[in-house]
Amino acid sequence: MSTSTVQAFKHQAPSFWQSTNGKKVVMAVTGCILFLFIIGHLLGNLLVYAGPVRYNAYAAFLHFDDTLLWIIRSVLIVAVVLHITATVQLALRNKKARPVDYSRKEAINSSFASRTMYWSGPIVLAFVIFHLLEFTAGYIHPGSQFIRGDVYHNVIAGFSVWWVSAWYIFALILLGIHLRHGIWSMFQSVGYNHKKHTPLLKKAALVIAAAIILGYISIPISVLTGLVK
Ligand code: HEM
């Protein structure tokens, strides 16, 4: 290949990140990383039903190696940043490409969940920031003193405040809608679209997202109803 052909190719072919497909793959892979974290985090948090000793021991285990903890945190932060950047850039690109009179047809064709992706995402992000300030940093802790290392106390005290629980339940329902759509569209993003399998995938996504969210929501509800004290 001559130098001028290489130059022309470089000029024409967008890089992986610049291409629409590349951004969709980045969204899918980072979404998958965050999804795995959400499952792992749920399994850990369900230990709240095993009592303070086991729940606090689990939290202590997460902090046993600071280097490892920061490696995992860095992967999550990079995943969140790339997920948001790719989403915003794709949305702007779609908006630019779409003719004005197409918007009505688009609204009819797209599902409720897909239309909520753009606003459920920012609310879930706001929830995660609140959550980190409440349970990790302890800067926001309505109702009682934050006790570092006593995560059981922090969670029970936090969810005993009704509006904290209400805010969690609201944000978790949105996370569920976001996950449901994200799970099956992840397959579409990497090019998997099958007439027979896609409807099944959509149903599976609904069941998985509902199970995850019910698991999470059960915690504030159990605290509010006094099941977990
Ligand atoms: C009822 C639901 C939830 C409970 C009870 C809960 C509980 C906790 C607790 C106690 C911590 C602090 C752990 C520690 O510092 O030792 C924590 C950290 C965290 N939670 Fe949750 N969580 C819930 C839902 C979620 C959800 C839905 C997400 C994500 C969308 C999430 C993301 C995180 C993150 C990113 C951290 C920081 C982990 C780190 O230390 O690096 N949590 N959570």
What one-character-per-residue DSSP string does 171-196 give?
HHHHHHHHHHHHHHHHHHHTT---TT
Span from the CA of 166 to the centroid of ligand 1 (angstroms): 16
Atom 4, ligand 1: which residue's CA is nearest? 45
The DSSP element (H or E) to which 48 belongs, if any, is: none
pLDDT for position 13: 63
Instruction: List, chain by chain if needed, residues with CB within 6 Å of any ligand 1 atom.
Output: 38, 41, 45, 59, 62, 73, 128, 131-132, 135-136, 151, 155, 168, 175, 216, 219-220
In order along its 229 residues, the chain shows pLDDT tens digits of 455 554 554 555 678 888 988 998 999 999 999 999 999 999 999 999 999 999 999 999 999 899 999 999 999 999 999 999 998 898 888 777 766 555 454 554 466 666 788 788 899 999 999 999 999 999 988 878 899 999 999 999 999 999 999 999 999 999 999 999 888 888 777 777 777 788 888 899 999 999 999 999 999 999 999 999 8
Residue 4 inside a domain? The answer is no
Residue 61 inside a domain? The answer is yes
CA–CA separation, 68 and 91 (whole Å)? 35
Report helix, strand or coil for 14. coil
Residue 24 inside a domain? The answer is yes
Domain count for the chain, please give it.
1
Residue 11 inside a domain? The answer is no
Residue 10 inside a domain? The answer is no
Residue 3 inside a domain? The answer is no
pLDDT for position 125: 94
pLDDT for position 83: 94
Residue 1 inside a domain? The answer is no
Domain of residue 61: give its range. 19-224
CA–CA separation, 217 and 166 (whole Å)? 10
The DSSP element (H or E) to which 100 belongs, if any, is: none
Residue 208 inside a domain? The answer is yes
